[in-house]
Structure 1
Amino acid sequence: MTLAGLSTLVATESTLATAIRDGHDGLHALDLTAPPALRPFIAAALARPERATNRTVLAVTATAREAEDLAAALRDLIAPEVVAYYPAWETLPHERLSPRSDTVGRRLAVLRRLVHPGPSGSADGPIEVIVAPVRSVLQPQVRGLADLEPVELATGMDTDVDVVVHRLASAAYARVDLVERRGEFAVRGGIVDVFPPTEDHPLRVEFWGDTVEEIRYFAVADQRSLQSVERLWAPPCRELLLTEEVRERARALAADHLELSELFGRLAEGHAVDGMESLAPVLVDEMEMLTDLLPEPSTVLVCDPERVRTRARDLVATSQEFLQASWAAAAGGGSAPIDLGAAAYHSLADVRLAVLARGQAWWSTSPFGLDPEVDPLAPLRTEAGDLVSIDVDTRVGAVESRALPFRAAALYRGDTEQALGDVRSALQHGHRVVLVTPAAGQAQRSVEVLAEHDIAARIDPTPADPVPDLVHVVTGALSHGFSCDPLRLFVLTTDDLVGQRAAPREERRLPSRRRKEIDPLELVPGDHVVHEQHGVGRYVEMAERTVAGATREYLVLEYAASKRGQPGDRLFVPTDGLDQVTRYVGGEQPSLDRLGGSDWAKRKGRARRAVRQIAAELIKLYA
């Protein structure tokens, strides 16, 4: 919550504060015109309004990337444990492909916390803000997923090992000899290894008789134990569990539909089949929507309704195409023998009407709107989020829109002089200036750069009440800044200064491939580092270079010479690409790789062979 004070300050702006109070008093439909940078602040204000009990907010974005960024920013504004990201399947509802186990695990963990929350402040406690891409909001899911109990063990608990094994198998965990992937478990005597889909590392549970003696993380690569923990919390790995009722229905369907008898026969025998989730409408009683599980009071906040609506329309159209040419019909060469329509995406309008029918609020925030300084009447929007034009009857389906007095920060694209000039001007006019950087090293460097240009600055871990005579530098995940004249506030981020987003976050990898992020301020010339693409090099210095009129900082790395007798080659890594560089942690003094050569590929190949050899020896040891 490094930006909690800034969130409180933004919420005091009169137009926003009035809107939040009106929402508490029963305003169920409203559009707030504001720059995208205000979205996490609006969601935080809705979740914790003044003189009201906390309410659950479902923030809907057009894409998964936007949802992840919004969730990261929200965790800087309110307590991180009350913010949850609800991912979407990687597959369409009617595809013969199953979603990844880690995706399913995270979804089920959110649903469990939403309906059956644990104690406040705990990892499985109540949720105040759920961030989800529109794909998650439109897709029906099996009713009762929130009631599925996770496998939970704690140090000192008495339970039979066989019972734990049965519960893990019932929760769709695959039993293997050696745990390597999420959704797997292994048993060796009184030791049970489990890799929950929500964890970065697998856990090893040691029993003494029927008592849980110790629980600790371990590394996948070499099976070595890591830190101890007090509890194991393992949600199911599939959204369709092969219960007795499901297996019985599959057995009946196998007899009624001979063209699908092999598929349903395997399900009836209790064998999981890839893509079986697409058959959920005929294997379970009912489906439900994510919005059906929202508690009272709740507010749905649609971020950029125009883009969300366009994305929703495309998803519904694609879903209908898959439904009309389903894989079952393609396999049988005729019309689909079973009706899978209940799993198709719902339209955004239908979801909205259902939310409003339950007495919950449906708000939106859009960057598009009329300038209130030009037209005193704030723009109106239809229920779908469209701007109301002159030929639309505003008495039918119109939604009030209020323009918040915030402006998006400029994109300087590396123009340091212009950025420093704007910061200096803001301070001279009595504005409070906050600079948000993604890491502590960049925060320290920003303070130094500002000092070099005679601008007072300090690192402020939690700027609760920024003062107007210096720049407050703080670390956080805020993507873009904004300014607000009524609050005399000017917020900038590193992305605004650089003019481009950092490289997209990689998908989660297995713990054996996790990397230790590097801080340039901790490097000493001569330190060995590893670049993801080019291999082992030697750190030389930090340098500034001007390219196409933009000045940026670079990490200078030295590699082996491409030709004998020549000086070593140098690689300039921009500061927004430091996620590809890690400190070398090997025991011996390494040799430098050659840029563009095969040294790095050979080195990685030797490491992989060594890991496989260790794994083979461990299998023999525990066999």
Structure 2
Amino acid sequence: MTDTKSATRKADAGGQGAAPEIKLDGSLSSFLPGLREDPAFADLVNDGRGVSLVGAPLGIRPALAAATGEGRPVVMVVPSGRDAEDMVGSIRSWYRGNPADVDMIPAWETLPHERLSPRADTVAQRMSVFHRLAHPVEGSDLFGPLKIVVVPVRSLIQPVVRGIQDMEPVVFQVGQEMDLSQAADRLVENAYTCADLVMDRGEFALRGGILDIFPPTAPHPVRIDFFGDEIDSIKPFHASDQRSFGQGQERIWAPACREIPLNQKVRRRAAALVGSIPNADDMLESISQGIPVEGMESLIPALIDDVMPVYSLFDPRAVIMFCDMERLRRGADDLTKTANEFLAASWHVAASGHGAGAPISFDKSNFLDFSEVHRSLELTHPATWDLSSLGVDPSADGHARLAAVPPDEYRGDESKATSGIQALRERGFAVAVTAAARGTLSRLRRVISSTGVSGVDFRLSLASDGFIDDKAHLALLTERDITGHSSVAAQAKTPKRRRKAIDLVELKKGDFVVHEQHGIGRFVEMVRRPVRPVNTRIRGLAPSSRGAAGHDPSDQAFREYLVIEYAPSKRGAPPDRLYIPTDQLDQVSKYIGAEEPKLNKLGGSDWSQTKAKARKKVKEIAQDLVKLYAARQRTQGFAFSPDTPWQRELEEAFPYQETPDQLTTIDEVKADMEKPIPMDRLICGDVGFGKTEIAVRAAFKAIQDSKQVAVLVPTTLLAQQHFETFTDRYEGFPVTVKMMSRFQSAAENKETIEGLRDGSVDLVIGTHKLLNPQIKFKDLGLVIIDEEQRFGVEHKETLKALRTNVDVLSLSATPIPRTLEMAVTGIREMSTLDTPPEDRLPVLTYVGAYEDTQVVAAIRRELLRGGQVFFVHNRVQDISKVAAHIKDLVPEAKIGMAHGKMGEKQLDNIIHDFWHRDIDVLVCTTIVETGLDISNANTLIVDRADRFGLSQLHQLRGRVGRGWERAYAYFLYDPAKPMTQTAHDRLSTIAQNTALGAGYDVAMKDLEIRGTGNLLGGEQSGHIEGVGFDLYVRMVSDAVQDYKESERTDAVATTVDLPVEASIPPSYIDSDKLRLEVYRKVAAAQGEEDFQEIRDELTDRYGKPPQALDLLFAVARLRSRAKAMGITDLIAQGRNIRVVGPDPQESVLMRLKRIYKTVQYRPVTHTLIIPTSFQGSFDSDPMDSKQVLEWTDLLLDDLTWRGKKA
């Protein structure tokens, strides 16, 4: 950046004092009285009967609806769901009453006959609106009457189950008496799913007197604590760690999650239909048991007697406004056509006798004819207006025209808009400028005020379009009118679930596990075994004679064990089995690796050799990491200045709500930049989780200090995407952004290189070409590297050299495991973005046999909404044949082809065309698996999906669903070819986990292995396979700690096995999976603070812990103490206890022999055999669990005896 430019920047950034203030209340209602100056507006608001066609531009419609809605109900029909959302926000900005009086009936994202369900929150919002329309309760904050309802045409023409409006939501209120099992029955009827752990909307879990529930309309799940039958408290909790937080709530309501009531009548009908509908038996059986299943809505015609039109719920006094009749009619026709195609395709596939047609009549669910709906509404409502943006002749009968016109001549031209505002003010117009994001409004205010225009009203609101009204002498200009685009309102919407802090490892029979000492085995089962022998014989007493004085000796103490099978020690022998007490679960992890491992033999040497090799390699890595870190610490870097007012303005103009992770990461990056040591930070997060915005802000901060920024990307497409993002975000600021790639001419690239040398280019985006030694920067301050792992070795070396003297920010879409992140803390700064962005919807996933009709219907449906399709076929040999076949099936579609055997240039051009929407269907190999971010491609079809791995399927599915639209993924297999069991399991896993659920965790692990390789070097994969991923990461962590604390001694593995009932009773936590999670946490606890934390969490999640759990904590404390003393075994054997570990001093041994008469010491094996009183004797009772632990604790005191102090 040149010095003059820098000076201007500093001056402008500092002085903005004179501009008028921004009104933050978000309301435009104060302008409504002025609009009544337009007689046509006033007549419509006051009556409007007899009017059928109204000339009203888009911008004034929300004002018309808001003003009319003050006197009578309004229903506004709009072409799409996005229009409906925009309209609701705009109307609320104009409306004088409670914003909750305005709502919309969202449309399903699925078609009526698809075997895919609409989202639970969509259904819940629909159900709440239906209930409020039919049963309004005056003065209620939950069920108050609706004044204005916005309806997308799709919702208007889709019939609903008759009586749906009478399905009562379940309301929970503090102090209310409610039978817990009845509440659970009501939730099941409202289609909630009973789960072990509440993670997703529409789930509930019952544990003793605690009910966890996630109502689809609530921002967080809630924990309802019952005291007997009375609700004691309602508290929100985080799905990620299951801990409650914040203030309690007075009440929560749980609307239905599905539009079929799962009542007895529906269940009986489902049971009766089993066997009569092809491919639907699984669904029908689940429904008959009251379990909601994916796609059950497609069976509405078979399960429900009658349906009704949505408009039968509208208030008969309501004014009906149809927005843009032609668009509505076209949208309704397209929908009906697509739905019919889909019905034919999906039931053609489902009916086993190909072409047999639908097995039952589906007419009931069909979309209604739009013209008939329109006619019915005209007959039943006093005022029905068609609002048109086209010219309307007000003198014709039944026609009216508002004086407002759209400010189209300014759109996208800020200087024209500014001079237009000046002219309007001179003519005496009131002018208001509005935007949804505060930073954008600040920028517009600065631009407009700098030209000397005064008296303009700046308001923060959700109005999306403006108008100029000659009669009312009023002009409203929105961000879209002035800049040509609009930001999304920064509303704090429902936070999505973060990546789980609870690592639930579901162990199934046959899963491979790794034991740190014994190696790789196979999980068999979890068993409860008695640990205390019955010993009533000595006393000669009947078991009942002890009464309440202590434990009945016939009460056996139980403990839970994991049974693991190892390779047999001799050929032909049965496998060896190992019983591992659950308090030692920190030694065990699920084996995660790409290949199936070989089982180790118990006591064999192969495991210790594998471990030694891996450990050696890990030490080298840790050493490299520490060296690089030390070199950076010694270098003097540039300390950037604190944020300027412009920085704040740029950040406030961000069109979305930042996620909490984003805010934390941005703060961390800025803090690093302001230090005099060069920054080296890695940011991990999936595509679309907000990494680019962090880069935008960091780069801007560097440019504010007159430094240059280089953004390095692996592909030309990414360069193009980043270039558009950076240019868009820096609009209105004096920042020069350039791009260097093959899509620029040689002359353009030469000019950019010149600009970098003389400082006139502030930021350059390019591929590895930027690393060319010929390219010189005037003053490079920050390098941003996107997807560093995709650069070659020689490029990485260049980057390594850069790291020691400029600030480096690396971005990666491959996740890095938490454990590893903790391991390298303080050596490589790292930030993780775990929270998905707000509007990211789960991808609707269909798994089924390949059929041409299904493929045609899926492609046409996507093309109808203006979208694009990925068709993945992973065999290069016949990919052109497949592309030609699709061209025959869908001749109107533009087909492109991409695969790895193409030249780089040709591939770039194809991807470039696809991104610019010149290709409708891209037939490609898994080349699309990573890095592509094309938000308009929202249908994925995978041919022969049975040939892909689980994480590949997840990665592919992640390519779609990046935009606002609902995305679809079709995983198809060849019905003529037999499928392996593994392939079948993979496809069923992917079908079940449409959200970020358990299957996501499996894929996450697979990706984390990749992430680990990227961070530590690719040659690690062999070692990771050898010892399993979790243990490998633990080794890295230990090695790094060793380098950081050279005095550290290696911790020993300690086994404690005493006759103590240290377990979690199934009556407290009945799910094996959740019990395992708690055992793992207790085993890994490091000290008293950890134990207290776990105890608090258990009390929060499950209620007061029972005594057996306190004993589990006591055993864990004892184990922790023994470990610190170097003891490896503390095991009860008959009447003795075996202690293996440190050799006792002579004085200690003599003392032990005095106290425990028959003690034996074996120096070769470092073993003490000490007699115990656990089983009692002729004159004493057997010890209970608490006494056993106290006795053992005293024994440890004796082992550490140092003699009396003088």
> Does 405-414 or 501-510 show the bigger shift?
501-510
| SS of alignment partner, residue 247 of structure 1 | helix
Counterpart among 436, 439, 445 of residue 437 in structure 2: 439
Match of 1:239 in 2: 259
- The answer to whether 1:314 aligns with 2:494 is no
Match of 1:113 in 2: 132
Contact kept, 8 Å, 1:181 with 1:510, in 2: the verdict is: no
- When residues 256 and 97 of structure 1 are mapped into structure 2, their CA distance, relative to the original with a 3 A threshold, is closer
Write the distance in 1 (CA, Å) between the matches of 2:331 and 2:448.
Answer: 42
- When residues 267 and 617 of structure 1 are mapped into structure 2, their CA distance, relative to the original with a 3 A threshold, is closer
Write the distance in 1 (CA, Å) between the matches of 2:270 and 2:208.
Answer: 35
- How far is 1:433 from its partner? 0.7
- The answer to whether 1:369 aligns with 2:369 is no
Equivalent residue letter for 1:20: V
Counterpart mapping for 1:39-54 below 5 A: 39-48=61-70, 54=71
Counterpart mapping for 1:332-351 below 5 A: 332-333=352-353, 334-351=356-373
1:211-230 per-residue CA deviation (whole Å, 9 max, x = no partner) reads 21211222222223133221
Contact kept, 8 Å, 2:76 with 2:321, in 1: the verdict is: yes
- The answer to whether 1:494 aligns with 2:493 is no
- When residues 475 and 147 of structure 1 are mapped into structure 2, their CA distance, relative to the original with a 3 A threshold, is same
Equivalent residue letter for 2:389: P
- The answer to whether 1:10 aligns with 2:20 is no
Equivalent residue letter for 2:168: E
- When residues 219 and 555 of structure 1 are mapped into structure 2, their CA distance, relative to the original with a 3 A threshold, is farther
- The answer to whether 1:355 aligns with 2:377 is yes
Contact kept, 8 Å, 2:404 with 2:469, in 1: the verdict is: yes
Structure 1: any 5+ residue segments left out of the alignment? Answer: 49-53, 379-398, 457-469, 572-590
- How far is 1:594 from its partner? 4.6
Match of 2:780 in 1: 567
Contact kept, 8 Å, 1:323 with 1:341, in 2: the verdict is: no
- The answer to whether 1:483 aligns with 2:626 is no
Match of 2:108 in 1: 89
Match of 1:430 in 2: 428
Aligned residues: 555
- The answer to whether 1:510 aligns with 2:510 is no
- How far is 1:21 from its partner? 3.1
Equivalent residue letter for 2:781: G
Equivalent residue letter for 2:416: Q
- When residues 130 and 214 of structure 1 are mapped into structure 2, their CA distance, relative to the original with a 3 A threshold, is same
Match of 1:302 in 2: 322
- How far is 1:200 from its partner? 1.6
- How far is 1:278 from its partner? 1.7
| SS of alignment partner, residue 332 of structure 1 | coil
TM-score (norm: length of structure 1): 0.79
Contact kept, 8 Å, 2:171 with 2:253, in 1: the verdict is: yes
Structure 2: any 5+ residue segments left out of the alignment? Answer: 1-25, 500-656, 674-682, 684-688, 707-723, 737-761, 785-804, 822-831, 835-1000, 1006-1029, 1031-1073, 1082-1097, 1103-1206
- How far is 1:402 from its partner? 1.9
Match of 2:306 in 1: 286
Write the distance in 1 (CA, Å) between the matches of 2:702 and 2:315.
Answer: 54
- How far is 1:326 from its partner? 4.8
Contact kept, 8 Å, 2:466 with 2:478, in 1: the verdict is: yes
- When residues 567 and 3 of structure 1 are mapped into structure 2, their CA distance, relative to the original with a 3 A threshold, is same
- When residues 490 and 266 of structure 1 are mapped into structure 2, their CA distance, relative to the original with a 3 A threshold, is closer
Question: Greater relative contact order (Cα 8 A, min sep 6): structure 1 or 2?
Answer: 1
Contact kept, 8 Å, 1:408 with 1:482, in 2: the verdict is: yes
1:84-128 per-residue CA deviation (whole Å, 9 max, x = no partner) reads 121111111111111111111111011111111233361431111
Contact kept, 8 Å, 2:691 with 2:811, in 1: the verdict is: no
Write the distance in 1 (CA, Å) between the matches of 2:806 and 2:187.
Answer: 47
Write the distance in 1 (CA, Å) between the matches of 2:166 and 2:290.
Answer: 21
- How far is 1:268 from its partner? 2.8
- When residues 257 and 408 of structure 1 are mapped into structure 2, their CA distance, relative to the original with a 3 A threshold, is closer
- The answer to whether 1:533 aligns with 2:694 is no
- When residues 319 and 205 of structure 1 are mapped into structure 2, their CA distance, relative to the original with a 3 A threshold, is same
- When residues 299 and 5 of structure 1 are mapped into structure 2, their CA distance, relative to the original with a 3 A threshold, is same
Contact kept, 8 Å, 1:219 with 1:512, in 2: the verdict is: no
Match of 2:178 in 1: 159
- How far is 1:444 from its partner? 4.1
Contact kept, 8 Å, 2:209 with 2:226, in 1: the verdict is: yes
Write the distance in 1 (CA, Å) between the matches of 2:813 and 2:734.
Answer: 24
Match of 1:464 in 2: none
- When residues 251 and 174 of structure 1 are mapped into structure 2, their CA distance, relative to the original with a 3 A threshold, is closer
- When residues 259 and 431 of structure 1 are mapped into structure 2, their CA distance, relative to the original with a 3 A threshold, is closer
Match of 2:789 in 1: none
Match of 1:553 in 2: 733
- How far is 1:485 from its partner? 1.0
Contact kept, 8 Å, 2:279 with 2:350, in 1: the verdict is: no
Equivalent residue letter for 1:568: G
1:285-337 per-residue CA deviation (whole Å, 9 max, x = no partner) reads 21011101011211221111111110011111222333444527742321323
- When residues 40 and 592 of structure 1 are mapped into structure 2, their CA distance, relative to the original with a 3 A threshold, is farther
More helix by share: 2
Write the distance in 2 (CA, Å) between the matches of 1:555 and 1:274.
Answer: 50
1:464-492 per-residue CA deviation (whole Å, 9 max, x = no partner) reads xxxxxx11111101112110111111111
Contact kept, 8 Å, 2:480 with 2:486, in 1: the verdict is: yes
Counterpart mapping for 1:52-71 below 5 A: 54-71=71-88
Write the distance in 2 (CA, Å) between the matches of 1:524 and 1:424.
Answer: 44
1:402-428 per-residue CA deviation (whole Å, 9 max, x = no partner) reads 221111113645543322211111111
1:182-237 per-residue CA deviation (whole Å, 9 max, x = no partner) reads 00111222221111011121111122222212112222222231332211111011
Percent identity (aligned): 32
- How far is 1:439 from its partner? 3.0
- The answer to whether 1:186 aligns with 2:205 is yes
Counterpart among 248, 269, 277 of residue 249 in structure 1: 269
- How far is 1:55 from its partner? 2.3
1:591-618 per-residue CA deviation (whole Å, 9 max, x = no partner) reads 9985665498548894569x999x9856
Write the distance in 2 (CA, Å) between the matches of 1:39 and 1:15.
Answer: 13
1:253-276 per-residue CA deviation (whole Å, 9 max, x = no partner) reads 336668855553443343333222
- How far is 1:250 from its partner? 2.3
> Does 562-571 or 447-456 show the bigger shift?
562-571
Counterpart mapping for 1:446-465 below 5 A: 446-456=444-454
> Does 250-259 or 110-119 show the bigger shift?
250-259
| SS of alignment partner, residue 552 of structure 1 | coil
Write the distance in 2 (CA, Å) between the matches of 1:267 and 1:318.
Answer: 28
Equivalent residue letter for 2:175: G
| SS of alignment partner, residue 88 of structure 1 | coil
More strand by share: 1
Write the distance in 2 (CA, Å) between the matches of 1:258 and 1:92.
Answer: 19
Contact kept, 8 Å, 1:40 with 1:73, in 2: the verdict is: yes
- The answer to whether 1:21 aligns with 2:46 is yes
Contact kept, 8 Å, 1:328 with 1:336, in 2: the verdict is: yes
Counterpart among 90, 94, 99 of residue 77 in structure 1: 94
> Does 439-448 or 89-98 show the bigger shift?
439-448
1:493-550 per-residue CA deviation (whole Å, 9 max, x = no partner) reads 122221123369999651548834999xx999946798813457646179799989x9
Write the distance in 2 (CA, Å) between the matches of 1:411 and 1:509.
Answer: 39
- When the two chains are superposed, the root-mean-square deviation of aligned CA atoms in Å is 4.0
- The answer to whether 1:228 aligns with 2:386 is no
- How far is 1:450 from its partner? 3.6
1:374-411 per-residue CA deviation (whole Å, 9 max, x = no partner) reads xx745xxxxxxxxxxxxxxxxxxxx8332211111136
| SS of alignment partner, residue 310 of structure 1 | helix
| SS of alignment partner, residue 240 of structure 2 | coil
- How far is 1:443 from its partner? 3.6
